[in-house]
Structure 1
Amino acid sequence: MVSLQWCGCADDSVKAVNNYQKAKTLWITVGLLAIFFVAEWSVGLWSQSLSLQADAGHILSDITALAISLLASFLAQQPAKKKATFGHQRIEVLAALLNGLGLLAIATFIILEAIQRWQHPAAILGIPMLAIAVLGLIVNLLNITLLHPHTHDDLNLRGALLHVIADTVSSIGVIIAALVVHLWDWWWADVAISIVVATFTGLSALPLVQESLKIFLEYAPESIDPVEVEISLKSFPGVVQVEKLHIWAISLDKVMLCANLTVECTTIQERDRLLNKLKTHIHKTFNIAEITLQLTSSQKPSALQIHPLFNQDLVFMLSTRKTN
């Protein structure tokens, strides 16, 4: 029986720089949103605009979500120790899940408020509503520019970006509503835009919640088909059977694989060569960095030329570490 564990990790210095840039971006975003929240909430109360008040509530949730993201990013950088053998990377996934659930809650709240406003309409000041909505659009576009480059491999920051995108759409909707209210005094436009914004907010949150739950439930990533992985392993000469194949994600960019393989090898050297071929093939084909394979020979111990002084249940551990 042979076990292989191979761990591929990014260079620590590169990770440190990336983490610093992410944290800096989040702090700038939080600062801009906090300043805008005070302005939008104040103008929303003054102008009697439901869409402005709803968007201000959304901004407040964004500030909370980004604060959670900052905390999660800090904790995720802490090294694996004691009982946290995988580290704290899933804290970022938890933060993303909370962000998604928060978006769904906000969408529900806005729709309920819109229904009440429809039943009890109020006079709305269109010009102040328009001015603050334009300012909100500028702030949100700036935040999207800051966040987008860091979201490709970070589910947590992707959740924060979704919040800001939802705010951007909300700002556009409020601008349209403000123009309609000012030009034609159609107060119902404010309510209608609020419902549209709430619907978009809820729909944008569903993929984030779904992807986060899949990681927590330890599903295989969408990009990797376990059946294809099994067929690929069986295609190697010497591999007789593949059992207990498990593929799961610790975080969005960290996928793990483990499996038990029955192999036909006549020598220890042949087994070692097969292990190296398997690990290289899995990494290059499926982009899985952390691999644990347990190989059990179908041959008798004597056929593998094991020295008689060793126990027939000898386990040979080979660990290699891939340097990115």
Structure 2
Amino acid sequence: MQNQSMTGKRFFAVTLLNVLITVVEIIGGLISGSLALLSDAFHNLGDSFSIILGYVASVISGKPETSRRTYGYRRAEILAALVNATFLIVVSVFLIIEAVKRLNHPTHINGGIMLTVAVIGFVANLVSALLLHSGSHDNLNVKATYLHILSDALSSVAVILGGLILTFVNVSWLDPLLTIAVAVYIAYEACPIIMQTLKILMQSAPNLDYEAIARDLKDLKGVNDVHHIHAWMIDEHRIIFSAHLNCDDLPLSQIEPIYGEVENLLHDKYGICHVTIQAECHRGSDEQLFNTPGDKKNMGSDASFKK
């Protein structure tokens, strides 16, 4: 409980720092005329939003299962990640459009103010990273935020370099070019998150070796065949699996130990956390591994996994 409290305090401190960075960079960007600084500000705003939304979602996802939510509320974190990543994409598109306009109609940039504010943002991001560093080794949520904060520090470095150059040389195209680079980097970070969240929400099959699973299950004593497999993910960590097994004609008291072996095998070797098995004697023995509506008969020996 003490570790959770400490993590919560550090997340709160990191959130405050990100809000502070955002405010300072927005003010500095408006005063200096630097679009790159404003893009970095929106990046940090996205981080603040992500931390707050992620914390709220983690609290909701910890609620127990109910008759209305039999798998609980774990996908609250997936929805939060989708909303946050989509927000970052929208911001990136907006920044690129504004940067292109700025390339066509260049404005004077105050390099000194841009440099000063970028340095403040860089230092604040480093402090945030240090606050989360100790918890990044044993907590995936903290680790993800820690790595994101480090990436913010790297984007601040680009703005610092731009501020240094603009302090001594008036290069009108440099600021919008940096803005486009930061925006593309933000989108690059956000796109895989969107793809992964959509994959989970669409209940796409996780990346498992299903042929190996079928072989391992059939190697268990009493299991003759495997068919009608389904697998999906509740969130990025929890895999749900169901299958029909053709077993020897045994009493239920002898089938139950087979269930235990199946659950242990799938959990220990494939990281599957929830397993539902339907035992059958001959029913479905001519079906394929993955049930296709309208074609339950034959997909070839590789698909049916007969012994």
TM-score computed with the length of structure 1 as normaliser: 0.79
CA deviation profile, 1:10-54 (whole Å, cap 9, x unmatched): xxxxxx667555543332221111112221111111111111122
Q: Secondary structure at 1:278's aligned position in 2? A: helix
1:86 and 1:17 mapped to 2: Cα distance?
A: 28
Asked whether the equivalents of residues 239 and 261 of structure 1 are also in contact (C-alpha less than 8 Å), the reply is yes
2:132 and 2:247 mapped to 1: Cα distance?
A: 48
1:36/1:89 CA distance change after superposition, 3 Å: same
Aligned partner (choices 219, 240, 255) of residue 256 of structure 1? 240
Asked whether the equivalents of residues 23 and 73 of structure 1 are also in contact (C-alpha less than 8 Å), the reply is no
Matched, 1:77 2:62: yes
Give 1:146 shift.
4.1
Q: Percent identity?
A: 29
Which has the larger share of strand? 1
Give the stretch that moved more between structures: 115-124 or 166-175.
Answer: 166-175
CA deviation profile, 1:48-79 (whole Å, cap 9, x unmatched): 11111222222223222322212211211211
Q: Which ranges of structure 1 fall in alignment gaps of 5 or more residues?
A: 1-15, 300-324
Give 1:273 shift.
2.9
1:210 and 1:156 mapped to 2: Cα distance?
A: 21
Q: Secondary structure at 2:70's aligned position in 1? A: coil
Aligned partner of 1:68 in structure 2 is 53
Q: Secondary structure at 1:251's aligned position in 2? A: coil
1:145 and 1:252 mapped to 2: Cα distance?
A: 26
CA deviation profile, 1:276-306 (whole Å, cap 9, x unmatched): 222221111112121121212349xxxxxxx
Q: Where in structure 2 are the equivalents of 1:99-248 lying within 5 Å?
A: 99-147=84-132, 149-150=135-136, 154=140, 158=144, 160=145, 164-222=149-207, 224-248=208-232
Give 1:133 shift.
0.7
Q: Secondary structure at 2:191's aligned position in 1? A: helix
Q: Secondary structure at 2:114's aligned position in 1? A: helix
Asked whether the equivalents of residues 132 and 142 of structure 2 are also in contact (C-alpha less than 8 Å), the reply is no
Give 1:136 shift.
0.9
1:239 and 1:93 mapped to 2: Cα distance?
A: 36
Give the stretch that moved more between structures: 133-142 or 202-211.
Answer: 133-142
Count of matched residue pairs:
282
Q: Secondary structure at 1:89's aligned position in 2? A: coil
Aligned partner (choices 243, 267, 277) of residue 283 of structure 1? 267
1:297 and 1:208 mapped to 2: Cα distance?
A: 43
Give the stretch that moved more between structures: 263-272 or 248-257.
Answer: 263-272
- TM superposition outliers: structure 1 runs of 4+ over 6 Å: none
Q: Which ranges of structure 2 fall in alignment gaps of 5 or more residues?
A: 284-307
TM-score computed with the length of structure 2 as normaliser: 0.83
1:107/1:162 CA distance change after superposition, 3 Å: farther
Q: Give 1:294's aligned amino acid.
A: Q
Aligned partner of 1:25 in structure 2 is 10
**Greater RCO structure (CA 8 Å; 6+ sep):** 1
Q: Give 1:246's aligned amino acid.
A: H
